[in-house]
Structure 1
Amino acid sequence: MTYYARNPILMPVILLLIISTTGWYSPFSSWLFNFVGFIFTLVLALSIFINYELQINDHELVYTIYLYSHRIYQKKITPKEIDILKLRKFGWTSKGATIRLQQGKNIRLSNFMPTTFDDELLHFANKHSIETWKNKDYELVKQFEK
Structure 2
Amino acid sequence: MVYYARNQRGALGFLFGILVAKSVAVYFIGAFQFGALFFVEICLMIYTLLLFFMKFTIKIDNEMLTYQVFLFSWRVYIKVLTPDQVSYIQFRRVGWASKGAVVHVKNGLNVRFYNFKAENILKDIIHFANAHQIAISKSKDYLILEK
| Structure 2 length-normalised TM | 0.91
Cα drift, residue 29 of structure 1 = 5.2
Q: How does 1:59-138 map to 2 (within 5 A)?
A: 59-138=63-142
Indicate yes or no: 2:61 matched with 1:57: yes
User: Residue 33 of structure 2 corresponds to which residue in structure 1?
Assistant: 28
Runs of 4+ in structure 1 over 4 Å off: none
Paired letter, 2:54: I
Encode CA deviations 1:72-127: one digit per residue, 9 max, x unaligned.
11100000000110011100111000011000011111111211111110110010
- Structure 1 unaligned runs (5+)? none
Q: Which amino acid aligns with 2:70?
A: Y
Q: Provide the TM-score with structure 1 as the length reference.
A: 0.92
Look up the equivalent residue of 2:33 and give its one-letter code: F
Q: Which amino acid aligns with 2:40?
A: V
Higher deviation after alignment, 7-16 or 70-79: 7-16
* AA matched with 2:140: K
- Cα distance per residue 1:29-53 (max 9 Å; x no partner): 52x2222111100000111111000
* C-alpha RMSD of matched pairs (Å): 1.4
* Aligned counterparts of 1:80 and 1:95: Cα–Cα separation in 2: 25
